[in-house]
Amino acid sequence: MSIRLYNTLTRRKEEFLPLDPRNVRMYVCGPTVYDYAHIGNARPVIVFDVLFRLLRHAFGAPYVTYVRNITDVDDKINARAAEMAAAQGVSVEAARADLTAKTAAQFEADVAALGCLSPTLSPRATQHIADMVAMIEALIAAGHAYAAEGHVLYDVASKPDYGKLAKRSPDEMMAGARVEVAPYKRGPMDFVLWKPSDDTQPGWDSPWGRGRPGWHIECSAMGGRLLGESFDIHGGGVDLTFPHHENEIAQSEGAHGGHAPARYWLHNGFLQVEGEKMSKSLGNFLTINELLKDWPGEALRFNMLKTHYRQPLDWTVKDLRVAVKTLDSWYKLIGDVEARPENAGAYFLSYKLSDTLADDLNIPAAMPQFHYMAAVLSEKTPAEAELAEFKTAANFLGLLTHTASDWFAAKKQAVSLDEGDIRQAIEARNAARKAKDFAEADRIRDELLAKGIVLKDSPKETTWEVKR
């Protein structure tokens, strides 16, 4: 099986050839834990989860390592912790520990609800301060960094190919720069590796005094420590291309004798909400947690997968309804059949679906395959094995992971009406129908419909569903 991935470094689709097929390694930038993760944060998590699954399928689960970090040292965290400390009368230190632990746990619960597998490793930045300090020392020794006024800065001028990922030269960037340059910087593009901390800020002892790391160094240090100097894939959102990933490359290559940290750099596109940029001021800031109160995690996931990962994605309620509707129909089809992951060699999964995904993770192109198969299975009385194959294939994308019984039961729970009341209404309506009082029968049905209940008459009985 040949996997092709679009590499930001070369701006081309390339065949994916791991350095070592018995040790395939991927690093994805994870969240900074200071607040609930929003739906935009969920995109890379879901996208790279599918890639993780594909790699496990292609190379064998034991031979794929996926690292997604948790950034728990950051000035946004410090600011939030200071607010909390003032409000709750606890120490900043305690507030910070509480904030990062709770937010990280919340993030992990949220993305689990979105059907994401746990990464192989989820390192915390604060667990790797020593690795960062060592890396900074290596950068200084190699002539790529310098200390100044308690800071350590990366000397961009020492790296002639700086800008190769973002495809822009320092000169070009300077042309539009409106930022005031700190006086201790040698070059205006130089970025911070280490900065001094005051008493209210978290700090660690270092050769340059008590301080804390800059933003970019943690990913370089953790990637290098956990995956080695060179690994296969590095992923994240497009907005991280510059400066974050560009700086990671500069740091890792500078500290590792020029060895590139990753060979394939993958970036997912941005997400908008109802056609607008998501922002708190517009009031369209959607957290995963809030969305999960209104929608099944699987529907959120389906909606995220509707668009190719590199394309911009417009997140709308309208599309979410379609997602639910599609999943409803598929659950109706498969019922409570069990998946058969051991039958991964089945035609659909092993050839059609995985080949489609292998083309730069073209998940939207795989959807017609599901629709087609669902249509074929609907036309006849499908064998259980066929339904199991359908479910197994959907499971590959992290979809249809429940039984139909559980799926529809969960939907019914979301209704404000008591189930007994609904049954009573149905009986009253059926009595009216028997008496040919269709006006009354329609009145009852409309009344339930107004409350989101759809009735379905069959020759035998009347059942109900939740309308979304």
Q: Which residues contact 225 (CB under 8 A, 6 or more apart)?
A: 128, 131
How far is 165 from 157, CA to CA, in rounded Å? Answer: 16
Give 306 or 412: the residue with its C-beta nearer to RNA.
306
Token output for 270: 């941005």
Residue 26, beta-bridge partner list: 66, 233
Interface of this chain with RNA, residues 3 to 22, rule: CB under 7 A? 11
- Of the chain, the end-to-end C-alpha distance in Å amounts to 40
Give 76 or 259: the residue with its C-beta nearer to RNA.
76
CB of 104 to RNA, least distance (A): 13
Stretch binding RNA (CB under 7 A), from 57-65, 81-89, 346-354, 355-363: 355-363
CB of 274 to RNA, least distance (A): 10
CB of 236 to RNA, least distance (A): 4
Among positions 25, 27, 41, 266, the unique one binding RNA when judged by CB under 7 A: 41
- Residue 103: Cβ within 10 Å count: 21
Contact status, residue 265 vs residue 234, Cβ threshold 8 Å: yes
Residue among 296, 297, 317, 314 nearest 306 (CA): 314
Residue among 112, 56, 63 nearest 344 (CA): 56
Site string (134-173) toward RNA, x via CB under 7 A: --------------------------------xxx---xx
Among positions 90, 238, 292, 415, the unique one binding RNA when judged by CB under 7 A: 238
Binding residues for RNA, rule CB under 7 A, total 81
Contact status, residue 334 vs residue 340, Cβ threshold 8 Å: no
- What secondary structure letter does DSSP report for 287? B
Site string (309-348) toward RNA, x via CB under 7 A: -xxxxx-x-xx--x--xx--x--x----------------
**Length of the chain in residues, anyone?**
468
Interface of this chain with RNA, residues 56 to 95, rule: CB under 7 A? 74-76
User: Does residue 443 interact with RNA by CB under 7 A?
Assistant: no
Give 98 or 457: the residue with its C-beta nearer to RNA.
457
- What secondary structure letter does DSSP report for 270? P
Residue among 429, 48, 448, 12 nearest 235 (CA): 48
User: Does residue 200 interact with RNA by CB under 7 A?
Assistant: no
CB of 177 to RNA, least distance (A): 5
Residue 314, beta-bridge partner list: 272
CB of 44 to RNA, least distance (A): 5
Among positions 26, 192, 266, 373, the unique one binding RNA when judged by CB under 7 A: 192
User: Does residue 223 interact with RNA by CB under 7 A?
Assistant: no
Sheet holding 145-148, edge to edge: 145-148, 151-154, 191-196, 211-213
CB of 61 to RNA, least distance (A): 25
